[in-house]
Amino acid sequence: MKKVDWYILRNFLTTFFFSLILLTLISTVIDMSEKTDDFAKTSLSATDIFFQYYAGFIPHIVAMLFPLFVFISVIFFTSKMANRSEFIAILSSGVSLSRILRPYWIGGTFLGLMLWYGNAYIIPKANTIRTTFEQKYTRSAEASSSGSGMYMRLDSFTYAGLRYYDTASKSGGNFFMETISGNQVVYNLRANNIAWDTAKKSWKLNGVLERKIDGLNENAKFTMETFKKFSFEPYDLKRDQFLQARMISPELKRRIDKEKLRGAETVKELEMERAHRMATPFSVVLLTLIGAIIACRRIRGGSGAHLAIGIIICAVFILTDRFSTIFSTKGDLNPYIAAWIPNMIFAFLTVYLYRSAPK
């Protein structure tokens, strides 16, 4: 690392953290103005609102706009250096463009790793604070029952389902479970009601009919009440739209494995969340290099022209990411491929810009 590297890296990080604080304050003020009525209805003090909501909202908005903050920061300070002819002087001294990009590589990698760690362990905890407050005070109460039915796979040979389930009472109705051997059902259980018993940590079943089938022979048994332990608990049956955002990465991985075993419909959403957590930090490095290559050239219009180009590139990146996400969650596109499509496209753009840039 030479003096010029430290100079560029210092400008990079200083501009980034300044823009991060500034834009976060603007986002917070806008959000505060939109939720003023909701805050007034809570009767909470300003301190309570900050720790119960904004302590989670601020990390959430920072993580969501992190790549944009990095990109704008790189374009802004690099464009200022280009307008002062600093890059012309550096290139004229015999330093190559690839050598100039070294501090950008270091800064982008550092910020990308910071975002990766935040997405994996810090942001989920912040989302828990934010979404809990929103569900309690600023959002209409979600329906506590699921009437469309729930189906799952308990293991490789056993399937179960519920006609409806109430998350508040932790109980449901019309429960069934079947065990299959080959192409035949060898065990069938049906219950009128099922409820979680907190003391026994097991499920209480009422009106239970069990059938054991062996070829043409069948053994049926009716029980008014029985307790059974299954591989699912009330937490697993709760339908929460913020579930994946609240889990740290190791928990998310375990949840994906469990949902895959059950054949749940939410697997793609969980995999998409995990894939984005891995792909977004890499996009920080790509946007850093793209911003540096674009802004290091002195052009008419100065910083304004560079920022306009940067905004267009950001818009295209966001649109590409949204389209690939929709094709994955609503279609058959693999979530991990969908999350990396924007990075692959912009990796080619980075190479093209680098090759066409004056060396």
Tell me: the pLDDT tens digits for 145-192? 455 567 788 877 888 888 888 777 788 888 999 998 888 888 999 999
pLDDT confidence of residue 118: 93
Boundary (domain end) residue, out of 191, 222, 239: 239
Same structural domain for residues 151 and 119? no
Residue for token digits 């997405």? 119
pLDDT confidence of residue 116: 95
The CA distances from residue 18 to 210, 218, 284, in Å, are 66, 74, 17
> Does the structure show a pLDDT above 60 at 56?
yes
Same structural domain for residues 114 and 199? no
Instruction: Classify residue 142 by its DSSP letter.
Output: P
Helix (H, G, I), strand (E, B) or coil at 180: strand
- Report how many domains make up the chain: 2
Same structural domain for residues 136 and 205? no
Residue 259 lies in a domain: no
Q: What is the pLDDT of residues 140-153, one digit of tens each?
A: 444 444 555 677 88
With beta carbons less than 8 A apart as the criterion, state whether 38 and 137 touch: yes
Dihedral (C-alpha) 133, 135, 140, 141: value to the nearest 10 degrees? -130
Residue 40's pLDDT band (boundaries 50, 70, 90)? Answer: confident
Locate 20 and state its tokens.
Answer: 């991060």
C-alpha to C-alpha distance for 339 and 325, rounded to whole angstroms: 7
Same structural domain for residues 109 and 23? yes
Same structural domain for residues 292 and 327? yes
User: 197 lies in which domain range?
Assistant: 145-239
Residue for token digits 């519920």? 162
Boundary (domain end) residue, out of 239, 257, 283: 239
When the pLDDT of each residue in the chain is averaged and rounded to a whole number, the result is 85
User: ∠152-279-129 over CA atoms, to 5°?
Assistant: 65
Same structural domain for residues 80 and 115? yes
> Does the structure show a pLDDT above 90 at 123?
yes
Same structural domain for residues 15 and 121? yes
Q: Is the pTM here over 0.85, yes or no? A: no
For range 249-259, the mean pLDDT: 86
Which region among 72-86, 147-161, 278-292, 309-323 has the lowest average model confidence (pLDDT)? Answer: 147-161
Same structural domain for residues 122 and 11? yes
Most confident among 43-47, 56-60, 181-185 (mean pLDDT): 56-60
Same structural domain for residues 48 and 84? yes
